[in-house]
Copies of this chain bind each other. A is one copy, B any other.
Amino acid sequence: MTDKKEINAGILIIGNEVLSGRTKDVNTSTLATWLSSLGIKVNEVRVIPDIEKTIIDTVNELRKKYTYIFTTGGIGPTHDDITAESISKAFGIEYNFHKEAFKILESYYKPGEFNEGRQKMAKMPVTSNLILNPTSGAPGFYVENVFCLPGVPSILKSMIGGLENILVGGDPILSSTINLRTVESEIAKSLTEVQNNNIDVDIGSYPFFKAGKLGVSIVLRSTDQNKIDKCNSEILKFVSEKKIEIVERD
């Protein structure tokens, strides 16, 4: 919705545990919130199983489609961790010990503890760049525009900050929220008019149920604060006319 070239991203959650329903994915929310702040818009998320061909095909499809791809999961030491090898194959790069990663892990563990399982975490596309891991040693990596992160949310969170000097973002995506004590159908028509008057602002309407009461969150998103402000005042105008209570604004 902007005139400038959009900087965007796709997120690829790799893991049977999310597809089975056992694990609720929270990495999408972490990555998307962080990327928005850098002016990078997430256009798509996919969750796929630990199947090599699926990973290769999906990575090769998405990396051509978006500025950046972020994968989560599958870079640990066990048999079901096949992301690093799959990414190697997607790019046609040798999968083997990464010298720098090997050194990091060797010095991270006590002598004698750097066993076969742990050594596997140093295997990745040999020419990839590392993403350092301040929490648990084992680094992530990136090849061209594909950034591979672990699935454990706390470790992922600790690693993404290190990428902020590497990613080139756009204008930060600004947002504004108005929570109203109403139901969507009461404001649908007015909101449509505001959206038609402000096509550069992404207006979302989300019903909520909090502390026993129904309400609607209206979320405005744009890279231009003036456009958000204009939109906001048009919404406040109909809210006032309809005598709708404003619960909260931020």
CB-contact partner of A204 in B17, B41, B42, under 8 A: B17
Q: A188 contacts the other chain (Cβ, under 8 Å)?
A: yes
Within 8 Å CB of A29, what residues of B? Answer: 18, 21-24
Q: A2 contacts the other chain (Cβ, under 8 Å)?
A: no
CB atoms of B28 and A21 under 8 A apart: yes
Which residue of chain B has the shortest Cβ distance to A154 in the bound complex?
B209
Copies per complex of this chain: 2
CB atoms of A20 and B45 under 8 A apart: no
CB atoms of A20 and B192 under 8 A apart: no
Main secondary structure on chain A at its contact with chain B?
Answer: mixed
Closest Cβ of chain B to A45, distance in Å, is 4
1/0 per residue A15-48: CB within 8 Å of B? 0111111111110111111111000011111111
Within 8 Å CB of A35, what residues of B? Answer: 21
Tell me the bound Cα distance from A219 to B19 in angstroms: 13
CB-contact partner of A152 in B22, B154, B186, B207, under 8 A: B207
CB atoms of A25 and B25 under 8 A apart: yes
CB atoms of B21 and A47 under 8 A apart: no
Q: A20-B36, A21-B28, A204-B80 are in contact. Are A117 and B189 (CB under 8 A)?
A: yes
* Known contacts A78-B192, A80-B203, A117-B188; 5 further A-B pairs (Cβ under 8 A): A19-B42, A21-B29, A22-B33, A44-B47, A79-B203
Binding site for B on A (CB under 8 A): 13, 16-26, 28-36, 41-50, 76-80, 115-118, 120-121, 152, 154, 173, 175, 184-189, 191-192, 195, 202-207, 209, 219, 221
